[in-house]
């Protein structure tokens, strides 16, 4: 395996220390969260429902007053709200993302810099709209399931429906399911197209042979009646080093999970519309040249996670079989932790890369081994779920044990990875191990939920022994009778983990 192109020594600047760590995408939340998690969830939901809108839509849904009732947050999300839209004709509804690791040098050439994001490339904000939409819907769905106030539950459902309509269904604001324009590399080539990294951001993309000269770019944006050269626009941006990171379609996994949790309680027209959208995206990922290229990459784990996740709400049996087959094939090709993480180890930010490499493995394992968690109001459906799982070809005990053992070896390997040349101080030990604690906690959950002679469901735990604490090897990461940590360790960052991640800790 050949390493990625190396950045010049002059560009190996240490990565700035973040005020707080980025969100980790987790499997479907447990149906038995801790009391502390519910308290954090309630506060988050009330913040979403009562905060003033930062964006009022003018046409997407005229049924809600522009100003809204007192305390009513009418915020919706759309890729069309980005200050920079896709420059190709007729594509304002496309998710438009620029590959983040390209920088203009003094000589006017484009240079790929390993692990270092160019804030100029963060100007298109469609991916931030997608990320915020998915996190908001996911949080509100948990509120529908776990909060006690009926009025709050109704408000959560209505807001979920409004957000989903705007993002997936309303013609003026919907995002196209075909993501042709995601992860575009600055170049002289037209049309401006994305590549196989549309599923994630921050993954190495080889440069085009003719993409070096700034003056070669001829694509223009037309905004407000003015024609702007792409590079003039990029050069004019001054977003600073704290620009939000690029997040792409992998965050749609949270929408899949939200639908699994609350689809029966939502307007079925909305549920059907979103599912049709997700089905179209699966079809595009399976048949388009861009999707086929992503699937044929050496380690297409994020691709498989997104397909399996979308299928989990469309055709559950197919989703489980697809996830299991994909994961078993990946293990067969990469039986050792070194082979799993070899490419990540070549990078200047190798600790971050290794964590990002194992993140989708846990998602895929969860999709392959576990059934959707039933809501408390539908707990009686467990037996039917078990029957469906059996008919769908549930993994064998040997499969389960192999997968869990393989994941454990990968996590142990990552814990021993040393910092890359640009990772001091960002990935110093305290912060790095605090991130690994999440995967140790997920691993403990998988071990607990899988026994060789039972159907592997996400069960409703009865006791307080819920997993490994925050890196100290203690039992019980919950608050239901234990004194161990209630939240993930965020002491290494100025602002710690955000409230949503602190809440989700109690859902693992």
pLDDT in tens, 47-82: 999 976 544 343 334 333 333 333 346 789 999 998
* Length of the chain as a residue count: 508
Q: Is 229 exposed, middle or buried (0-12, 13-18, 19+ CB in 10 A)?
A: middle
Closest Cα partner for 201 from 308, 124, 107? 124
- What does the pLDDT read at residue 366? 96
CA distance 503 to 95: 29
Q: Is 500 exposed, middle or buried (0-12, 13-18, 19+ CB in 10 A)?
A: middle
Domain assignment of residue 28, yes or no: no
- What does the pLDDT read at residue 470? 33
Domain assignment of residue 125, yes or no: yes
Domain assignment of residue 29, yes or no: no
- Does 367 share its domain with 418? yes
Q: What are phi and psi of 383, to 5 degrees?
A: -60, -45
- Does 336 share its domain with 295? no
| Domain termination site, one of 265, 280, 314 | 314
- Does 188 share its domain with 86? yes
- Does 362 share its domain with 288? no
- Does 183 share its domain with 91? yes
CA trace torsion 494, 243, 26, 115 (10° rounding): -100
CA distance 436 to 411: 8
Domain assignment of residue 5, yes or no: no
| Domain termination site, one of 314, 344, 359 | 314
- Does 306 share its domain with 359? no
Closest Cα partner for 176 from 249, 95, 250? 95
CA distance 220 to 222: 6
Query: In the chain, how long is the greatest CA-to-CA distance?
Result: 67
Domain assignment of residue 114, yes or no: yes
- Does 285 share its domain with 340? no
Domain assignment of residue 384, yes or no: no
CA distance 170 to 273: 10
- What does the pLDDT read at residue 124? 61
Q: What are the residues whose beta carbons fall under 8 Å from the beta carbon of 390, sequence distance 6 or more?
A: 455
- What does the pLDDT read at residue 121? 63
Q: How many domains does the chain have?
A: 2
| H helix or E strand, kind and range, residue 256 | helix 252-262
Are 249 and 302 a contacting pair, CB within 8 Å?
no
- Does 446 share its domain with 403? yes
- Does 147 share its domain with 265? yes
- What does the pLDDT read at residue 4? 45
DSSP letter at 165 equals: I
pTM listed for this prediction:
0.76
Domain assignment of residue 377, yes or no: no
Closest Cα partner for 246 from 85, 81, 117? 117
DSSP letter at 420 equals: P
Positions in the chain whose pLDDT score sits under 50: 1-7, 9-10, 54-72, 188-199, 201-247, 372-383, 386, 389-390, 451, 453-483
Domain assignment of residue 115, yes or no: yes
- What does the pLDDT read at residue 324? 96
- What does the pLDDT read at residue 309? 97
Alpha helical stretches, state H, 263-315: 268-287, 289-295, 301-314
> For the packed helices 35-50 and 126-146, what is the interaxial angle rounded to 10 degrees?
120
Closest Cα partner for 97 from 174, 208, 18, 197? 197
Residue ranges with strand state E in 150-290: 220-223, 226-229
- Does 167 share its domain with 298? yes
Are 190 and 218 a contacting pair, CB within 8 Å?
yes
DSSP letter at 54 equals: S
Are 406 and 331 a contacting pair, CB within 8 Å?
yes
Helix (H, G, I), strand (E, B) or coil at 424: coil
- Does 252 share its domain with 342? no
- Does 137 share its domain with 185? yes
CA angle centred on 181, ends 177 and 184, rounded to 5°: 145
CA angle centred on 450, ends 447 and 454, rounded to 5°: 160
Which residue segment(s) compose the domain that 436 sits in?
327-372+394-451+498-507
CA distance 60 to 171: 8
Q: What are phi and psi of 220, to 5 degrees?
A: -120, 150
- What does the pLDDT read at residue 120? 66
């Amino acid at each position: 395996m050949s390493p990625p192109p190396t950045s010049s020594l002059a560009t190996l600047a240490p990565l700035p220390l973040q005020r707080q760590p980025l969100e980790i995408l987790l499997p479907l939340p447990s149906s038995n969260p801790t009391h502390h998690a519910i308290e954090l969830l309630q506060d988050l939901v009330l913040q979403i429902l009562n905060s003033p809108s930062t964006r009022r839509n003018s046409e997407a849904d005229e049924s809600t007053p522009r100003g809204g009732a007192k305390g009513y947050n009418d915020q919706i999300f759309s890729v069309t709200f980005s200050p920079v839209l896709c420059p190709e004709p007729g594509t304002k509804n496309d998710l438009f993302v620029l590959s983040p690791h390209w920088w203009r040098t003094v000589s006017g050439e484009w240079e790929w810099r390993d692990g270092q994001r160019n804030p100029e490339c963060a100007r298109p904000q469609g991916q931030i709209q997608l990320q915020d939409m998915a996190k908001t819907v996911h949080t509100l769905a948990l509120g529908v399931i776990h909060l006690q106030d009926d009025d709050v539950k109704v408000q959560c459902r209505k807001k979920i429906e409004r957000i989903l309509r705007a993002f997936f269904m309303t013609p003026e604001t919907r995002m196209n399911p075909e993501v042709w324009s995601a992860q575009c590399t600055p170049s002289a080539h037209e049309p401006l197209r994305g590549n196989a990294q549309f599923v994630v951001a921050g993954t190495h993309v080889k440069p085009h042979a003719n993409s070096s000269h700034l003056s070669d770019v001829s694509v223009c944006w037309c905004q407000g009646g003015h024609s702007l050269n792409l590079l003039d626009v990029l050069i004019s941006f001054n977003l600073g080093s704290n620009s939000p990171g690029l997040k792409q379609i992998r965050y749609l996994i949270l929408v899949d999970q939200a639908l699994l949790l609350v689809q029966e309680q939502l307007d079925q027209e909305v549920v059907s519309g979103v599912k049709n959208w997700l089905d179209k995206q699966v079809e595009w990922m399976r048949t388009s040249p861009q999707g086929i290229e992503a699937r044929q990459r050496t380690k297409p784990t994020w691709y498989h996670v997104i397909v399996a996740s979308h299928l989990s709400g469309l055709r559950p049996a197919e989703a489980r079989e697809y996830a299991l087959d994909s994961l078993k094939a990946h293990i067969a090709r990469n039986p050792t932790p070194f082979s799993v993480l070899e490419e990540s180890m070549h990078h200047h930010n190798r600790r971050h890369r290794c964590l990002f490499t194992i993140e989708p493995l846990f998602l895929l394992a969860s999709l392959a081994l576990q059934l959707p968690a039933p809501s408390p109001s539908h707990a009686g459906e467990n037996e039917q779920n078990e029957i469906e799982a059996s008919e769908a070809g549930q993994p064998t005990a040997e499969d389960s044990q192999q997968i869990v053992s393989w994941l454990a070896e990968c996590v142990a390997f990552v814990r021993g990875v040393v910092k890359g040349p640009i990772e001091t101080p960002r990935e110093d030990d305290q912060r790095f191990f605090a991130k690994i604690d999440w995967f140790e906690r997920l691993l403990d959950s998988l071990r607990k939920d899988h026994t060789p002679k039972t159907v592997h469901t996400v069960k409703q735990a009865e006791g307080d022994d819920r997993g490994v604490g925050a890196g100290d090897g203690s039992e019980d990461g919950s608050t239901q009778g234990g004194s161990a940590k209630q939240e993930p360790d965020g002491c290494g960052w100025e602002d710690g983990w955000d409230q949503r991640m602190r809440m989700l800790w109690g859902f693992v």
